[in-house]
Homo-oligomer: A and B are copies of this chain.
Amino acid sequence: MNADNKTTARHGGRRRGAPPADRRLDRQAVVTAARDLIAQDGYARFSLRVLASTLDVRPAALYNHVRDRDDLLDAVAEWLVAGFELPEDEGDWLSWVRQVARRMRERLREHPHLADVVLSRSAAGPARPALVRGFIERLVRAGVDPAIAHAGWHAVLDIVVGAASQERARGNDQSEVFDSTLQLVAAGLQSAASRPPDGAFVTLLHAHPTVWDG
């Protein structure tokens, strides 16, 4: 009824220029909001436009903090894998490996919608190299050949991701299959580590002059 704020109150109380500094976004806020939105409503329902509306902002505003949709989703995916940490290294190295695998799987299962993001884009996030190094170092410290340890990392990663994909595609729980497959990989690791480098394993042992490059 009073007409003193007719320029500022148009369009739902939002002026045209930049808002006051305490109502501005930053990249962190955008990524966090995207993460929470996907975790709640699922990856399929996610779009930049609904994200913008939950942030009470026009879609174009997001581009001040994020290069594009892919950049944003990479950041969300990275959050999930970056939150994973290797367990303490107690006990024998082989059961430690099994523990790593189970924990990785657990992390994906705790956030199924965010796991969808990771699985659908299999992004090689910048957070992973430290994990690979930590994994290999633990095994090398226990006397395992670096090349075998490296292969072990990939095998573990593959069966964790594979089980998660299967669970996404079909509905049913894949825990038993996962346990069996993990058991198989563990047996391979033990066998390869305890066997002298004969025959079939020469290539494995010498194929990677530098194993620290991811």
Residues of A participating in the B interface, judged by any CB pair closer than 8 Å: 119-124, 147-148, 150-152, 154-155, 157-159, 161-163, 165-166, 168-170, 176-177, 179-181, 183-192, 195, 200-201, 203-204, 207-208
Task: For the A-B complex with A151-B183, A183-B204, A187-B192 known, give 17 more contacts whose Cβ atoms are closer than 8 Å.
Answer: A119-B122, A120-B120, A121-B169, A122-B168, A123-B169, A124-B169, A148-B180, A154-B162, A154-B177, A154-B181, A180-B204, A185-B188, A186-B188, A186-B200, A187-B195, A187-B200, A190-B191
| Chain B residues positioned under 8 Å from A170 (CB to CB) | 124
In the complex, the count of this chain's copies comes to 2
**Chain B's nearest CB lies how many Å from the CB of A160?**
9
Return the chain B residue nearest A170 by Cβ: B124
CA distance A150 to B122 in the complex (A): 25
Q: Which residue of B lies closest to A189 (CB)?
A: B184
Between-chain CB contacts (< 8 Å), 22 pairs: A119-B122, A120-B120, A121-B169, A122-B165, A148-B180, A150-B177, A154-B181, A155-B155, A155-B181, A158-B181, A159-B159, A161-B165, A176-B207, A179-B203, A179-B207, A180-B203, A183-B201, A184-B185, A184-B188, A187-B192, A187-B195, A188-B188
